[in-house]
C-alpha cells in the first residue's frame, strides 16, 4: 500500500480544514454526556490528527488509520455523526488510498 506525504501542508487549506473538523469533533465529544468506553482512544487519535495537520507532512495512510480508530471508538453515537463526517471529508481532501479487493494484495 502506498503511503503518500503531502508537502507544503503548513499553508495548505486542507490542513486548516482538517484542524477545524478535528476541533469541532473534540468539542462535540467533550460535551457528549454518555460514558463511552473508548473515549480516550478517540481523544488520542483526534490529538494525533491535529498534530499531523500542524506538522505539514501528514501521511494519508496514517490519517485514514486515525479516522478508523476514531469511528470505532465512537461507535454509532448519532449525535457525533455530523462532526465525524466532517473529519472524514477533510481527510478525503488529501487524496485516496488504493483500495484492495478480494484476491488482491
The answer for residues whose C-beta is within 8 angstroms of residue 60's C-beta and 6 or more apart is 3, 4, 5, 6, 94, 95, 96, 97
Q: What's the grid cell of residue 20?
A: 477545524
How many whole angstroms separate alpha carbon 34 and alpha carbon 31? 9
Tell me the CA distances in angstroms from 59 to 9, 77, 81, one per residue in order: 11, 27, 24
Domain for residue 62, yes or no? yes
Residue range 60-67: average pLDDT? 95
Residue range 35-61: average pLDDT? 92
pLDDT at residue number 56? 75
Q: How many domains are contained in the chain?
A: 1
Instruction: Give the three-class secondary structure for 60.
Output: helix
The domain in which residue 58 lies consists of: 41-95
- Whether the pTM exceeds 0.85: the reply is no
Domain for residue 18, yes or no? no
Amino acid at each position: 500500500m502506498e503511503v503518500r506525504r503531502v508537502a507544503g501542508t503548513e499553508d495548505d487549506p486542507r490542513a486548516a480544514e482538517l484542524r477545524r473538523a478535528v476541533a469541532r469533533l473534540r468539542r462535540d465529544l467533550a460535551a457528549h454526556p454518555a460514558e463511552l468506553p473508548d473515549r480516550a482512544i478517540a481523544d488520542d487519535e483526534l490529538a494525533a490528527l491535529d498534530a499531523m495537520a500542524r506538522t505539514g507532512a501528514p501521511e494519508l495512510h496514517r490519517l485514514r488509520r486515525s479516522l478508523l480508530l476514531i469511528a470505532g471508538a465512537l461507535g454509532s453515537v448519532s449525535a457525533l455523526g455530523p462532526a465525524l463526517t466532517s473529519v472524514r471529508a477533510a481527510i478525503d481532501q488529501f487524496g485516496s488510498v488504493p483500495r484492495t479487493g478480494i484476491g488482491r494484495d
